[in-house]
Amino acid sequence: MYENNERQRNINSMANNIMTVSGRASVTAIPDIAVIRLGVMTTGDNLTRVQEDNARISQMILEGLRQIGVSDIKTHQYNIDRLYEFENGTRIDRGYFVRNIFEIRTDMLNMTGAIIDTAVSLGANLVELISFEVSAIDQYYLEALNMALSNATDKAISMSNELGAMLNPLPIRIVENSNQPTPIARSFLGEGQFATPIEDGTTEIESSVIMDFTYL
């Protein structure tokens, strides 16, 4: 009876003693997908001719890219609008513009520069985005999350040992503070031609947690 009462007092005392620790970790991921957005903008007074010119150049770009092994290409944006300029506060009609942007996805990262060079040589005059993605980003994130949990647990164990306390190794609360992982590793925005080679680099995927432990 006495032992049961003592055990219950220990449990109640442990429940009242809470240790809060944080854990952080990161893993380095190597991108394996390149995403390129490039295209053609044509201008002129005759809308039909502007459209025809854009279609002709766009088709040349598509054929050229397929010849070097690029197959995952889709239309990202297609715009037709009036073209205006302003001089001394006066709006001047300069005709029309047609803008056709393709999105290219490839796992041939070493071909990124060649893809852009090929498109530009065939008439592309817009390069809007070059980005590098990690296809298995969730797997990397889970690895970082597990490391963050271990980091927080190690802290709790170290603190309890230093205090001479008995730690309950099972946390009573875990809060995941990490932002959702984003697939974009690096991005370059702009118009015009990008010098080659283009480096994909690496990205750090981070995770952080807060954990509550009880101790006696």
Q: How do residues 195-215 score in pLDDT, each as one tens digit? A: 555 666 788 899 999 999 999
pLDDT averages per 10-residue partition of the chain, 216 residues? 53 74 94 94 96 98 97 96 87 92 95 94 94 89 96 96 94 87 50 55 89 94
- Cα Rg of the chain (Å, integer): 29
pLDDT value, residue 33: 93
Q: What is the mean pLDDT of the chain?
A: 87
Q: What is the pTM of this model?
A: 0.70
Give the total number of structural domains in the chain.
2
Instruction: Determine the pLDDT at residue 53.
Output: 98
Residue 79: count other Cβ atoms within 10 Å of its Cβ.
10
Residue 102: inside a domain: yes
Q: Check which CATH number belongs to the domain holding 89 and give it.
A: 3.30.70.2970
DSSP, residue by residue, 63-81: HHHHHTT---EEEEEEEEE
Structural domain containing residue 72: 33-133
